Amino acid sequence: MRVGFLLPQLGPVSSREAIVRVARRAEELGFDSLWVVDRLLYPVKPQSNYPGTPDGSLPEQYKRVFDPLATLSFVAGRTERIGLGTSVLDMPYYNPVMLARQLTTLDLLSNGRLKVGFGQGWSKDEHDAAGASLKMRAERADEFIGVLNAIWTTDPVEFHGKYFQIPRSFIQPKPVQKPHPPIYLAAYSPGALKRAATLANGWLPVGIPIDNLKEMTTQLRTMAQNAKRNPNDLKVILLANIDVTSQPSDKNRSTFTGNLEQLKNDIEAARAIGIEELIIDSIFSRDCQTEDGLLRNLEQMRNLT
């Protein structure tokens, strides 16, 4: 199982220096990849509940967020080998023609190290700010991925859809990776999981208990087989929200929370069900709210994995 680490591009620990130190140290320690998240706003009076907390409140870390693609471009120039990924870019906030050029450039400048994770977003405030529609996002997502595929694999390119139009044109350069950088979709509903099974290279979930993850992975592969795809070609990358405690957590704990022994057991459980890659997200962990704390955690997680 490959292991990645979320860069400190958000929260009070985020800074140019922290990003460079974590990126370089992760590469030295043999991590396989570095990842970024995507957040536009920290609304004062949210219209939508955040799905990652019991009371729906946004974590304080989301008040300060570096741009994901600019961060990866910066890191690409300061590392040599380690992979670079997005977990995740919210498709409704982007134009796919403009985004294709950004992602292609990043893939070229990093010499083919890019993995692209996409999601749909959940915040009405962010959709409003981006001029996007929550209602039409699923249908738009299918076209969005179609536009990227067309730009990355054909020349000249032509696309005519409901949401996007490309007149017959040359769009170059093309990515290093062929046919294109791998695309992973965050998906939780049956429809979104089917999109991952039919249009993407894999699935990128977060916050799902291991038993449910195993069941949904089986569903994903069945959907891929029904779509005449090889189910073994689909990879699952799991984002793990780590929270390290000094004492064991109780039996009702969330996955990837607790002391180091409990975390190691969770990591082994993820490996046992065939997770291709595990992304360690320690930004919200209580012992990682300083740069030094985050670097200590980086070494702890390398020892565990």
- pLDDT for the residue 259: 94
Q: Any bridge partners for residue 183, and if so which?
A: 116
Neighbours of 95 (CB within 10 A): 11
**How far, in Å, CA of 153 to CA of 172, rounded?**
10
In this structure, which topology does domain 2-304 adopt according to CATH? TIM Barrel (3.20.20)
Q: Between β-strands 114-119 and 157-160, what pairing exists: parallel, antiparallel or unpaired?
A: unpaired
All structural domains of the chain with their residue ranges: 2-304
- Residues contacting residue 86 through CB under 8 Å, at least 6 positions apart: 35, 36, 38, 68, 69, 72, 115, 116, 117, 118
Neighbours of 263 (CB within 10 A): 24
**How far, in Å, CA of 104 to CA of 110, rounded?**
10
- Structural contact between residues 253 and 239, judged by C-beta atoms closer than 8 angstroms: no
- DSSP symbol at 110: T
- Structural contact between residues 115 and 86, judged by C-beta atoms closer than 8 angstroms: yes
- pLDDT for the residue 303: 94
Q: Which of 78, 148, 77, 86 is nearest to 116 (CA)?
A: 86
pLDDT tens series, the chain, 305 aa: 999 999 999 999 999 999 999 999 999 999 999 999 999 999 999 999 999 888 999 999 999 999 999 999 999 999 999 999 999 999 999 999 999 999 999 999 999 999 999 999 999 999 999 999 999 999 999 999 999 999 999 999 999 999 999 999 999 999 999 999 999 999 999 999 999 999 999 999 999 999 999 999 999 999 999 999 999 999 999 999 999 998 998 878 899 999 999 999 999 999 999 999 999 999 999 889 999 999 999 999 999 99
